[in-house]
A and B are shown apart, each in its own frame.
Chain A
């Protein structure tokens, strides 16, 4: 069964807008929550990650919000750019990664 649930499946945002992707998990043994960005024909690239003792982490235009009690975390992409058009995967790690199903983000110029 899917250990990490990710939504939405796809989203379209205008250039300069905010993209928001949500994930939820059940297994409390997970202790590391990375987000990966994948372009067609390439491998997943580590974008940003958070550990459960932190509620928010920001790196440039990318922010992770983490709610330990709700077992939910989300990725916000601020000032979205056409180059951000890609598939984004959330994941949860207890030494091996359990991935969400992915969100295809399209940024319209």
Chain B
């Protein structure tokens, strides 16, 4: 029973390149969340998605960042024209459907380094 799978685990990009981070939720989970963890800081919410819908993207920078969770396949967090400040660990979490807040389970993250 696989948990939340994220890949790649480590990603190195040069300034100006694009970064694509993938997340496959736990089996049976239809809700996906992305969080960012800067060095020596806690986790900050970025975006909440359900299949084919963005529910809340209030934590995502308005420019260069986008997220999707297609009907088939993993959720993708895309960062265009990366800058040094994008260096961070990006975590995906998933939760089952249900009324009220549901437990969120995290993957091991993608560590993004910008040269």
Residues in chain A within 8 A of chain B (CB atoms): 6, 31-32, 34, 36, 41-46, 49, 89, 93-102
Contacts and interface: CB of A to CB of B under 8 A. Distances in A.
Given A43-B106, A95-B48, A31 B42 contact: no
A34 B103 contact: yes
The 6 closest A-B pairs by CB, nearest first: A32-B101, A43-B106, A93-B101, A99-B42, A43-B108, A101-B42
26 contacts: A6-B42, A31-B100, A31-B101, A32-B101, A32-B103, A43-B4, A43-B106, A43-B108, A44-B106, A45-B106, A46-B104, A89-B42, A93-B101, A93-B104, A94-B101, A95-B48, A96-B45, A96-B48, A96-B56, A97-B35, A97-B43, A97-B104, A98-B45, A99-B43, A99-B44, A101-B42
Contacts of A49: 103
Contacts of A98: 45
Contacts of A42: 108-109
A95 B101 contact: yes
Given A43-B109, A44-B106, 6 more contacts: A32-B102, A32-B103, A43-B6, A96-B59, A97-B33, A100-B42
Interface string B34-60: 010000011111001000000010010
B43 A89 contact: yes
B56 A44 contact: no
B25 interface: no
Contacts of B107: 43
B79 to A, nearest CB: 19
B91 interface: yes
A101 B105 contact: no
A36 B93 CA distance: 12
A44 B13 CA distance: 25
Most buried by A among B56, B102, B103, B106: B106
Most buried by A among B4, B93, B107: B93
Nearest to B106: A43
Nearest to A90: B42
Contacts of B102: 32
